[in-house]
Amino acid sequence: MRVLIVEDDALLGDGLQAGLRQRGFEADWVRDGQAALLALNTEAFAALVLDLGLPKVDGLSVLQRLRGRASKLPVLILTARDAIDDRVRGLDSGADDYVVKPVDLDELAARLRALIRRSAGSAQPALACGDLTLDPATREVRFRGRPVELGAREFALLELLMLHAGRVLTREQIESQLYPWGGEVESNAVEVHVHHLRRKLTPEIIRTVRGVGYMLAAGS
C-alpha cells in the first residue's frame, strides 16, 4: 500500500518512511504542504500521514483542500498538538484518525491498515476473496488453505487487487499505487508480477481486461 508522509522534521520523516517500508508499505515523504498538495494531485495513495505544523501550507489547509475536492483518501494526522481543541478541529476538518507524537511505528502501521481497509468498505482485518485470504498485518497469504510465499511487490499487487476485488484497475493505477518515487518502474513490471501471482496461485485468479487493466476474479 502506498502512503504519503507529510512531515517537515527531517529525522522523523526519514524514520517514518523507513519504518513504514519495513512494515510493508510503500512510503513517500514530502516536507511541506505545497509539495503534499502537488503529490496528492498527481499520484494515487492509499492513505496520508499528515503533520499539522508545516511550512508553506499548514496541515489543516492541506486536509481542507483535499476534502474540498471530494477526496475520500484516508487521512491520519500525526502531530505534536495534543489539545482537545486541536484534535476536534483535526477530525472535524476531515481527518480519519488523530495521533499525537511520539507514535509507535507498529501502531501507526496498524492504524493505517485499518483506515485503508475501512476505506475499501471492509471491517475484516484479513482480506478474503473466495479461497484466497490475505492478512495485511501478518503479511500471510493463504490459498485453498495452504500458505503461499509472495515477494513484497507481489504481495502489494495482490493486496491492491483484493481491496478492489471485482473492479478493473488500470496499469497506471496499479503502478502509481505500487511504486514510490525514485524506484524505477520497468515497462513490463506489472505484467511480470501478475504472471508470478498466476503461477503461485492459479492462472484464472487474475483476469486481464484487454486494453484496460486487471481485476481479481471474485468468487473464484
Q: What is the number of residues in the chain?
A: 220
**Rounded to the nearest whole angstrom, what is the least distance from the CB of residue 162 to other proteins in the complex?**
25
Distance CA 69, CA 116 (A): 19
Residue from the set 14, 68, 172, 188 that interacts with other proteins by CB under 8 A: 14
**Rounded to the nearest whole angstrom, what is the least distance from the CB of residue 14 to other proteins in the complex?**
6
Q: Does 10 sit near other proteins (CB under 8 A)? A: yes
- Scanning 14-22, 156-164, 179-187, 195-203 for contacts with other proteins by CB under 8 A, the matching segment is 14-22
**Rounded to the nearest whole angstrom, what is the least distance from the CB of residue 34 to other proteins in the complex?**
11
Residues 93-112 that bind other proteins (CB under 8 A): 100-106
**Rounded to the nearest whole angstrom, what is the least distance from the CB of residue 33 to other proteins in the complex?**
11
Q: Which is nearer to other proteins, 105 or 217 (CB)?
A: 105
**Rounded to the nearest whole angstrom, what is the least distance from the CB of residue 77 to other proteins in the complex?**
13
**For other proteins, what does the binding mask look like between residues 16 and 35, x meaning CB under 8 A?**
x-xx--xx-------xx---
Grid coordinates of 138: 501478518
Q: Which is nearer to other proteins, 36 or 161 (CB)?
A: 36
Residue from the set 55, 125, 151, 203 that interacts with other proteins by CB under 8 A: 55
Distance CA 110, CA 97 (A): 12
Give the number of residues in contact with other proteins, rule: CB under 8 A: 26
Residues 131-190 that bind other proteins (CB under 8 A): none
**Rounded to the nearest whole angstrom, what is the least distance from the CB of residue 58 to other proteins in the complex?**
12
The 3-class secondary structure across the chain, one letter per residue, is CEEEEECCCHHHHHHHHHHHHHCCCEEEEECCHHHHHHHHHHCCCCEEEECCCCCCCCHHHHHHHHHHCCCCCCEEEEECCCCHHHHHHHHHCCCCEEEECCCCHHHHHHHHHHHHHHHCCCCCCCEEECCEEEECCCCEEEECCEEECCCHHHHHHHHHHHHCCCCCEEHHHHHHHHCCCCCCCCCCHHHHHHHHHHHHCCHHHEEEECCCEEEECCCC
Q: Which is nearer to other proteins, 32 or 154 (CB)?
A: 32
